[in-house]
Amino acid sequence: MFGNWLKTAILMAGILALFAAVGGAIGGAQGMLIAFLLGAGMNFFAYWFSDKMVLRMYNAQEVDEASSPYLYNMVKELAQRAQIPMPRVYLIDEAQPNAFATGRNPDHAAVAATTGILRMLSARELRGVMAHELSHVKHRDILISTISATIAGAISSLAQFGMLFGGSRDGERANPIVSIVVMILAPIAAMLIQMAISRAREFEADRGGAEISGDPHALADALAKIDAYARGIPMHTAEAHPETAQMMIMNPLSGGGIRGLFSTHPATEERIGRLRAMA
């Protein structure tokens, strides 16, 4: 748990430094100050509200025992096995089979599944997937995951930051090449932060999910099936907001062009192999 808090603190400090550096390169001392304040405000917003923003982005609808007893009761049983508070449960009306967890801690967590994953997986396989997501909740991965998704999207807006200063730097004309390079490097830096966070985390969530469900083969079978079908079914919200891809149990992106840089998940074959070895 302490490790994830430390990672979150480092991430948020890194965001402040990145905002300040970009602001300074584009707008000088004034730009650095404004960008630093913008970064501080973004950190505050991300900590308290990023989960709500991501759920709203995917038009996720909260369900309960009355509206979706199958999914709700499955999550309830697994949460009891994991010894964590019952998270809020959401459905996303998307054909692609996928799922994610979000929130700032186990007491304020949510899990979301697409309608496609409910249709495609057996009860045993879906149980493995939801156990994987609850493992993220239990190990407090969700805060750093959601914050990185929110802030990575915001960092891309730094590309327009120079407009506030008309390309000037302390009264002198800024080097346009430097400004362009900084504008390109800022979102790439955000991608690298996400990739560094996500890969090892997915292996750990697979292991934790297998332990919670008590059935490593179920999650392995689910990953194989999701991987086979998700490639051919686009998820338009994820394509429009690729910074959220690292939250999903399986990479939802088509992978073409710059979106390939957001491919934060380990190879599915390696994930399946590790789960089979557990069993």
What would the DSSP string read from start to end of 130-165?
HHHHHHHHHTT-HHHHHHHHHHHHHHGGGGGGGGGT
Residues 189, 191, 197: CA angle, nearest 5 degrees: 105
User: Of 133, 204, 211, 269, which residue is the catalytic one?
Assistant: 133
Whole-number Å distance between alpha carbons of 247 and 51: 11
Cα–Cα nearest to 127, from 198, 79, 58: 79
77 is catalytic: no
Q: Rounded to whole angstroms, what are the CA distances from 175 to 29, 158, 180, 215, 237? A: 15, 17, 9, 58, 36
Whole-number Å distance between alpha carbons of 157 and 24: 15
Q: Which pTM was predicted?
A: 0.80
The secondary structure of residue 101, as a DSSP letter, is: E
Tens of each residue's pLDDT in the chain, 279 residues: 555 666 667 767 777 777 777 777 767 788 788 878 877 777 777 777 778 989 999 999 999 999 999 999 999 999 999 999 999 999 999 999 999 999 989 999 999 999 999 999 999 999 999 999 999 999 988 877 777 777 766 666 555 555 444 445 455 555 565 566 566 665 666 666 666 566 778 999 999 999 999 999 999 999 999 999 887 899 999 888 887 888 899 989 876 555 555 566 888 999 999 999 998
Whole-number Å distance between alpha carbons of 165 and 30: 9
Each residue of 34-50: b (16+ CB within 10 Å) or e?
A: bbbebbeebbeebbeeb
